[in-house]
Every structure is written in structure tokens, then in C-alpha cells.
Amino acid sequence: MNHLIEPFHYAFMQRAFVTALLVGVLCSAMGTYVVLRKLSFIGDGIAHASFAGIVIAYLRGIDYYVGAGIVAVITALAIGVVHRKGRVALDTAIGVLFTGAFALGIFLMSRQQSYSVDLQSFLFGDILSVGRTDVVMIVVLAILVALVTALLYRPLLYTSFDPVVAQASGINAPLVEYVLLVLLALTIIISLQAVGIVLVAALLVTPAAAAYQLTTRFAPMMTLSACFGALCAVGGLYASYYLRSSSGATIVLFATVIFFAAMSYKQIRMLVSAGASRRAVLAGGSQDAP
């Protein structure tokens, strides 16, 4: 028991656990939309693009959440505009935008005399460096994202399944999509310190993909995904404490294991039920088994 609470003796570990839990739940819940709307690449794109914002914020001495937030939201909206108006395929447009912004970040960083360890931590995440004001910022943004998502729950659900009919019925589907992209941008910003730019997309996609294997309705999928996210985040953080490993990488590895466990469980269950119906056919002589 002492082992379990040992990390909590340190204030920085307390902050890390609060951050991990929030990030795990929020990313995974929002990931439900990412997976169902097939936006995985957008998550990765926004995360990478925000690196330019982080570097600019660092060079100008402004808060990194402001810098990264502005760039991430602009990128998200630009992706939405290109998607609606552009004649370029969506993944091409994202590819151009995010690599460009990411390169700008690296370019600006490389011109600095002293290489900053701070900036590197954003690439791979350093949850132990989360300060007190960071936690406040993360809590405020997480509450904001959760509130807006709850308010838009029905339009987000309908436009995820059938945006055309939703719009015909009078729902402003393009506006809902723009708001979702901004919510995803904020979610990613919140998560960068915990898991890093390179791995945040995994936390948006993997728990939701695991939950998709095991559920048949939207709300249970979102709930299960959030639970998986919390489990990965807290479990991964514990493991990284004892294994002295990178917190972001450990959290994502937890998620990967959960995904394959969920997939295997579903496959086995399908095989078992297929086997059962085959046996029923052989025993009963019925001919119309699926």
C-alpha cells in the first residue's frame, strides 16, 4: 500500500497525476469523435502545427498555452476551411499545413544559440514539469471543452453519423464541425505537456478505437473510452515513476496494450459465437445459420 501512495508525497507528482487523469479522460472522450469522423490525421496535424506556437511563445516570452493555443486553433480552422472550400484532398491539405508549421517551429528553434531543453520536452512530453499555473490552466480549459461538448452533444452526434441529413433538418453542420475542430485543438494543447506532440494523436485515437471494439452505442463508447484513457494515463504515470521511463511514451504504450486486448477479446468472442452457431447447425440440422 505504501508503494502505491509513495509518489503522492511529492507535490509535482500530485500535479502530474491530476494532469494525467484530466488529459486521459478528455483526450479519450474527444477521441470518440476523432475515430468516428475519421479525423486521426487532423489530431496529429494540429499537434505538430502547435509546435510553431510553442517556439514563438518561448522566444517572445509569452505563456506557452497562449502561443500554442492560437496557432492550434488557427490551424484547426484552416483545416476546416480547406476541407469545405478547397479543391485539394483533405489529407493533402493537412499534410501541407502541419509539416509547414512544424518546420517553422524547428527553423526558429534551430536559430537559437542555446538549444532549449524546455522545447524538447514538448516533443515527447514531460508531465513532471507541470507547474501550479499549468494545472490551473489545464483545469480551466478542460472544463471549457467539456461544457461546450456537453452543450453540443446532440448536434455533434447527429453530424458525426449523417452530416447531410442533419443539415437538411436545420442543424448548422459546418458550424458544428468548426467548433469541434477548435475543441480538438484545445484538447491537444492541454495534453502536450503530458504526452508530447509526437504521441498526443495516439491518446486521441487509441482508447476510442479500443472502446469501439466493445460497444454498440455512442454514449457507452465515449464513456468506456474515457475510462480507458483514465486507466492509461494513471497506470502509465505510475509505471513510468517506477520504471524511470518517459511518462508520455508509457501512457501511450498502456493504451496500445488496451487496444490489442480489446481487439483480441472481440475476435475471440466472435469466433466463439460463430463456433456455437455452427455446432447448433450440425446438431439441429438447421440450414440458415449466418
Partner 1 sequence: MSAAVEVRDLVVRYERVVALAGASFAVNPGEALGIVGPNGSGKSTLLKTVAGLLEPTSGTVRVFGRAPRALPPGSIAYVPQIEDVDWSFPATVWDAVAMGRFARLGLLGRFGREDKAAVQRALELVNMQDLAGRRISALSGGQQQRVFVARAIAQQPQLLLLDEPTTGVDAATEEALRQVVRSLVADGMPVLMSTHDLDRAAEWFDRLMVLDRRVLAIGDPEQVLESGAYSGIREHAHTHGHARTH
Interacting residues toward partner 1 by CB under 8 A = 36, 151-152, 154-155, 157-158, 160-162, 164-171, 212, 215-218, 220-221
DSSP letter (8 states) at residue 63: -
- Which of 103/276 has CB closer to partner 1? 276
* Minimum CB–partner distance for residue 223 and partner 1 (Å): 12
- Which of 90/157 has CB closer to partner 1? 157
The answer to whether the CB of 23 falls within 8 A of the CB of 236 is no
- Which of 215/256 has CB closer to partner 1? 215
Residue 245 φ then ψ, to 5°:
-110, 170
* Minimum CB–partner distance for residue 157 and partner 1 (Å): 7
* Minimum CB–partner distance for residue 219 and partner 1 (Å): 9
- Which of 169/245 has CB closer to partner 1? 169
Compute the distance between CA of residue 180 and CA of residue 148 in angstroms, rounded to an integer.
9
- Which of 103/289 has CB closer to partner 1? 289
* Minimum CB–partner distance for residue 276 and partner 1 (Å): 17
* Minimum CB–partner distance for residue 279 and partner 1 (Å): 21
* Minimum CB–partner distance for residue 98 and partner 1 (Å): 25
Compute the distance between CA of residue 163 and CA of residue 80 in angstroms, rounded to an integer.
14
DSSP letter (8 states) at residue 9: G
Secondary structure of 174-236 as H, E, C letters = HHHHHHHHHHHHHHHHHHHHHHCHHHHHHHHHHHHHHHHHHCCCHHHHHHHHHHHHHHHHHHH
* Minimum CB–partner distance for residue 243 and partner 1 (Å): 35
**Residue found under cell 453542420:** 173
Q: Which three cell numbers stand for residue 228?
A: 480507458
136 exposure class (CB count in 10 Å sphere: 0-12, 13-18, 19+): exposed
- Which of 124/218 has CB closer to partner 1? 218
Q: Which three cell numbers stand for residue 262?
A: 480489446
- Which of 91/162 has CB closer to partner 1? 162
Residues with Cβ within 8 Å of 100's Cβ and at least 6 positions away in sequence, in order, are: none
Compute the distance between CA of residue 12 and CA of residue 7 in angstroms, rounded to an integer.
9
Q: Which three cell numbers stand for residue 232?
A: 492509461
